[in-house]
Homo-oligomer: A and B are copies of this chain.
Amino acid sequence: MSDNRFSIKELADLVDGEISGDFNLEISGFAPLETAVRGEVSFLIKSAEVGKLQACEGSAVIVPMDVEEGPVTLIRVENPYLAAAKIHGLLLKKPFVATGVHKMACVADSTVLPKQINMAAFVVVGERVTLGERITLETGVVIGDDVEIGDDTILKANVTIASGCRLGRRVIIYPGCVIGSDGYGYATDNRGFHTKRPQVGVVQIDDDVEIGANSCVDRAAYGVTHIKSGAKIDNLVQIAHNVVVGENSLLVAQVGIAGSCNLGRNVVLGGQAGIADHINLGDGVMVAAQSGIHNDQEPGARIGGSPAIPMKQFMRAAIQYGKLPEMGRDLRRLKKNVADLEAEKEEQATEK
């Protein structure tokens, strides 16, 4: 078993949980309720499903606080989903083992190597790069000149970080991501030819950010495109120049954010949503999948549709949308009926 080994007490302490059952258990793995075996901890999200504990063959289960006891040892917590993520993460955690620089990697002379690093084959690191400790650079990673990377950051295979960009600590960039490509900016003459506007800014990615596979974050025209700490970005997302993504925001796959948008903290953008340029989204704004946002939004706003409107209104309008053909027929019939009534009234008036 490749997992680590912890006492049930250590696990409960990690998640502010209360133990009900055997305080002397040792846990060495994590598995779903259905497949857990002896030595493994599992989890139950809904206390209504407490009956499922009967068939559990694992040694312990993380449960909601209102489950007080059960046929196995319990770790009772406020948020079982979160506690499960933390405990599972701990059980899987491996110590950093520095493998150093692969003989087929290239590091420029002016870059100073940290004490501990994992640099795989076919990695290139440019001039004057600042590298923290315990960084992992997987195969094919390309790092431009003057980049800064914080401690414990992981760049997966074939990631490109262009010159001057800055990454914080514990950042994870998934395979194929492109950080710091030129922003899309052109000036057009009266014959329709486009001249490139130099893009001289950078990308700054703060601590604990994750960016999914094949996503793109463009460098700023001037200044920074800024992904703030704790933001989690899914695959194939496009973030244009000078965008600011606030702390702990969630951007689901294939989202596109146009230039100079400013997103607050804990904004959630559903998959394939698009934000027009220079839009401000307040803290906690939630945008439904496939929506198109063209207006600033107050903190906490919930919006949907393309163009987007308040979410409740969108849900009602979307239902009515399917009835449009019927509405059209009703309208035509009503117009006819009302015209008939009016004509008759006219006739009566004339008769008088």
Name A's B-contacting residues (CB within 8 A). Answer: 30-32, 35, 79, 81-82, 84-86, 88-89, 92, 102, 104, 106, 120-122, 124, 138-140, 142, 156-158, 160, 162, 174-176, 178, 181-182, 184, 186-190, 192-198, 200, 210, 212-214, 216, 218, 222, 230, 232, 234-236, 238, 240, 247-248, 250, 252-254, 256, 258, 265-266, 271-272, 274, 276, 289-290, 292, 305-307, 309, 313-314, 316-325, 327-328, 330-331, 334-335, 337-338, 341-342, 344-345
Contacts and interface: CB of A to CB of B under 8 A. Distances in A.
Given A160-B157, A272-B274, A82 B256 contact: no
A214 to B, nearest CB: 5
A320 B325 contact: yes
Given A122-B124, A160-B176, A216-B236, 17 more contacts: A35-B222, A79-B187, A85-B197, A89-B195, A89-B196, A106-B121, A120-B124, A160-B175, A176-B176, A178-B213, A186-B250, A194-B248, A214-B236, A234-B238, A238-B254, A307-B318, A317-B321
Given A198-B88, A316-B325, A254 B253 contact: no
A79 B248 CA distance: 41
A247 B193 CA distance: 9
Given A197-B88, A334-B334, A334-B338, A256 B232 contact: no
